[in-house]
Amino acid sequence: MQLPSQTFIITGATSGMGRGIAERFAREGARLVLSGRSEERGREVAALIQQQGGRAVFLPGDISQPETNRQLVENALAAFGRLDGIVTNAGHLGLGAVTDIQPEEWHYTFAANLHSVYYLSHYAIPHLRRQGRGVIIATASIAAFKSFPNHPAYCAAKAGLVALVRQMALDYGPAIRVNAICPGPVDTPLIWDSARAFPDPDKAVDNAAQTTALKRLGRPEDIAALALFLASDEAAWITGASVTIDGGVMACR
């Protein structure tokens, strides 16, 4: 086991990449506080982990709100007595060109993708520092580096997240390592939500797979393997990095 008895908060854990990360971390011995907006799916994930011998609790809530993030940290300490790391995986697409997207959607996209990482880090870092070590992993996107049609809010928020990760690595090293994962197209509900903007969603998703050098979509377990590496001592000299995991999309530009 690579994370024995370590406690992690994972947001966006009810489906897709977040669920994949939660299940992998649990198999590696981590104790988990899971977050998501769907209470039904969240309790299902926590129950599955418990049935497989792991330890997990679920707290529903909207991570765009500071109070939700404060409660996640408090729940981790109450349930497990310590906090070793956070994985900020929750996000929101916020589709629409600048002239089309409404202000409230623009602001929520930033709140879900960027502000939420500040909130959870703000409440978690004092406890990580108290232990003398900790890990922060933020799920960004290749959209931080590559433009996509009708994604201005999402691209800008993810670019801001990459900058935030670099900055926090400077402020909180050497005790706390801070890194970002930048996925390309992954087979999750998010990519299907994006595809619904096209006349033929199935074709749009297949086209996304074909943009990769490996000619397939990523899988949640691909992302989970990278998250585990960054959380483990195997990545002890990696901080401030934004690691692309995209099947070669950026190589094909």
Q: Which of 221, 235, 242 is nearest to 20 (CA)?
A: 221
Q: Which two tokens stand for residue 206?
A: 């297949």
Q: Which of 221, 217, 218, 213 is nearest to 204 (CA)?
A: 217
172 among known catalytic residues:
no
8 Å CB contact between 9 and 121: no
Range 89-102 burial, b when 16+ CB lie within 10 A, else e:
bbbbbbbbeeeebe
Q: Which of 119, 123, 154, 172 is catalytic?
A: 154
8 Å CB contact between 1 and 25: no
What distance lies between CA 251 and its chain's CA centroid? Answer: 23
Residues facing residue 87 across a β-bridge: 10, 137
Q: How many CB atoms lie within 10 A of CB 51?
A: 8
8 Å CB contact between 86 and 126: no
Q: CA distances (Å), 30 to each of 35, 49, 80, in order? A: 15, 11, 11
Q: How many CB atoms lie within 10 A of CB 9?
A: 24
* Catalytic residue IDs: 154
